Chain A
Amino acid sequence: MLKKLGKQIKRICLVSWQDTYVFFCISGSAIIICLLLQRIGKSDIHISAIFTLAVMLVSRMTNGYLYGGLATVLGVFAVNYAFTYPYYSFNFSLSGYPVSFITMFSVSLITCTMTSNIKMQEQMRMEVEREKIKATLLRAISHDLRTPLTAIIGATSTVLENKDELSDEKQRELLEEVVEESRWLIQMVENLLSITKINSEEMKIHKQEEVVEEVLSDAIHKFRVRYPKVKLVVNLPEEILIVPMDAMLIVQVLNNLLENAVIHAINYTKIEISVKEKGESVEFIVADDGNGIYPELLPHIFDEKYLNRTQHQRSDGTKSMGIGLSVCWSIIRAHGGEISASNRPEGGAEFKFTLPMGEETK
């Protein structure tokens, strides 16, 4: 209860440097303008109007009710003290004084409320949008998770219930399938983990200087364990490249791209990884010599919203990469780099990404 009240008060009395600055600028300008007007002419009529305008502007441009209220108080006292007869003294018995006070106060209150409402509505709209993306993602993920889980339960219960009827070979085959499906699930979970690592705290990541070949060798090692038969060619530059990055996330990107090649490339003979220095950044290329990517998929290939695109690729029985590529996109963008996909003129798909070498923080 007390906490709630505290929160309410906090919401009303938001204090920030920026708002304080706005408050002083606007109130200051109002006072200066009034002083100038006072010098020029003798009319007091504009004074109230100018302060009312100042109160409204402050209320509109700041958060919460605090600064609007302050501007009202300042306005009322300034008008009373400096700008109405008798000048430079307070006179609370002045006729019409309560009227000007109430007017300014109402203007401030109404504007502040309107401003807060608009801001709240904007925030709500953004939240709704985010919820929508989240829901799409969740739907796609649950769908992608259900398939391997069904296969795992199916295979294991088949073995459990028909132990005597099934040949050893058949049992082995089923269990191997379970291992394969579980591996895929793990990959999926690792991707989800990477997403949570980035999306929290506004895409902030923990960068550290890493030697490129060390990160690369980790990804290659993992890949070799999983796909010992795939031919992999690695082209590394002679010089030592040191790039600030979150190594685990970049390993994840490389893994996703390599795996994507294995799963989706058709008729490929080898996968090639190249690294080279390119201006202020380092460029990584993962390419295969298969049939390439469907041209109509290229523009949306990293897009979460097009997760279901994989349907027609899946018709050949292979698994979708699920969220893999959009995870790559998020990771590279969080590093301040670029990622792109294209078809090579000599055939096959090519994924490129860059990582800036500088210390710039994003």
Chain B
Amino acid sequence: MAIKNKILIVEDEASIANFVSTILTVNDYDVMIAARGKEAYSIITSQCPDLVILDLGLPDMEGIELIKATREWSQIPIVVVSARSRERDKVEALDLGADDYITKPFGTSELLARIRMALRHAVSRGGNSQVIQTGIFKTGDLTIDYDKWQVFVRGENVHLTQNEFKIVSLLGLHAGKVLTYDYILQELWGPAAKGDNKILRVNMANIRRKLEKNPAEPEYIFTEVGVGYRMAE
């Protein structure tokens, strides 16, 4: 018998916790539920779940605080659930170390996809293992060659500037994961670049024109409005 992944649902709305736990159980996960932040934290420390689904609006503490407390000692994947009215919270959550977010209301397939991805990333933390081993990232018709600093789309070599290549390669290394503007800026230009993301946005618009057939319907690099960018897996 395969070992089931243990998932902790931190959610104070019983009806939502109930339906999420039903889907997860059906899909072969072990499920624990906590309605309060303190209870959740004690489960995280004592039971070591493989993944946490965290609603940011909890009755006893801010979900953000729970992420901070957990990230001090653990890299366990955290998928944040946020309502639309709290847009800024999800960026903060991601910057504090949450792995992904999903906005209420969400569909079951979307939720499962996010969970699968977060679990996969937990195994290869610090970057896509395929990239680290082979030096090559591939998704659809897009190939990034990390050793030769080259990008190919539909077989053709695409000429990117140095910054453009850095952005694309960073997204490729963390493919599937949403990288916030601040994170990308910091990785590329150091901590001083934080805050002003206009250079990044313009660079990205240029990249999109070079890689995508139709910039309004991208196949490779997706925009998460107000949050950041995500490379297709």
Residues of A within 8 A of B (CB): 186, 190, 193, 208-211, 213-218, 220-221, 224, 234, 236, 238, 240, 242, 247-248, 251, 273
Contacts and interface: CB of A to CB of B under 8 A. Distances in A.
B160 to A, nearest CB: 16
Given A186-B105, A190-B84, A209-B198, A236 B225 contact: no
A319 B8 CA distance: 40
Interface stretch (B19-27, B134-142, B210-218): B210-218
Contact of B215 (A193, A236, A242, A273): A236
Contacts of B201: 209-211, 214, 242
Contact of B87 (A190, A211, A248): A248
Given A213-B205, A218-B223, A248-B225, A236 B198 contact: no
Contacts of B87: 248
A193 B85 contact: yes
A247 B226 contact: yes
B217 A214 contact: no
A215 B205 CA distance: 12
Given A186-B105, A193-B84, A211-B204, A234 B225 contact: no
B205 A211 contact: yes
Nearest to B223: A214
Given A190-B84, A211-B205, 5 more contacts: A208-B226, A213-B208, A214-B225, A217-B216, A236-B216
Contacts of A193: 84-85
B1 interface: no
A220 B216 contact: yes
Most buried by B among A217, A221, A251, A273: A217
Contacts of A216: 216
A214 B209 CA distance: 12
A213 B84 contact: no
B171 to A, nearest CB: 14
Contacts of B85: 193
* B interface residue count range (under 10 / 10 to 19 / 20 to 34 / 35 or more): 20 to 34
Interface in B182-233: 198, 201-202, 204-206, 208-209, 214-218, 222-226
17 contacts: A190-B84, A209-B201, A211-B205, A213-B208, A213-B215, A214-B201, A214-B205, A214-B225, A216-B216, A217-B216, A217-B218, A218-B225, A234-B214, A234-B216, A236-B216, A240-B205, A242-B201
Contact of A220 (B202, B204, B209, B217): B217
A216 B133 CA distance: 37
B198 A215 contact: no
Contacts of B208: 213
Closest A-B pairs by Cβ, 10 of them: A214-B223, A240-B205, A234-B216, A218-B225, A247-B225, A213-B215, A216-B216, A217-B216, A211-B201, A213-B216
Contacts of B84: 190, 193, 248
A339 B12 CA distance: 41
Contacts of B223: 214, 217-218
Interface string B90-116: 000000000000000100000000000
A215 B112 CA distance: 26
Contact of A248 (B105, B222, B226): B226
A94 to B, nearest CB: 68
Contact of B206 (A218, A236, A240, A273): A240
A205 B119 CA distance: 38
A61 to B, nearest CB: 42
A234 B217 contact: yes
B89 to A, nearest CB: 13
A216 B216 CA distance: 6
A211 B199 CA distance: 11
Nearest to A224: B217
Contacts of B205: 211, 213-214, 240
A213 B222 CA distance: 11
Contacts of B217: 217, 220-221, 224, 234
Most buried by B among A190, A213, A218: A213
B208 to A, nearest CB: 7
A237 to B, nearest CB: 10
Nearest to A275: B216
Contacts of B206: 240
Contacts of B202: 211, 240, 242
Nearest to B105: A186
Contacts of A214: 201, 204-205, 223, 225
A233 B46 CA distance: 54
Contact of B225 (A215, A238, A273): A215
A190 B85 CA distance: 9
B57 to A, nearest CB: 15
Contacts of A273: 216
Nearest to A185: B105
Interface in B13-69: none
Most buried by A among B201, B224, B225: B225
A84 to B, nearest CB: 66
Contacts of B204: 211, 214
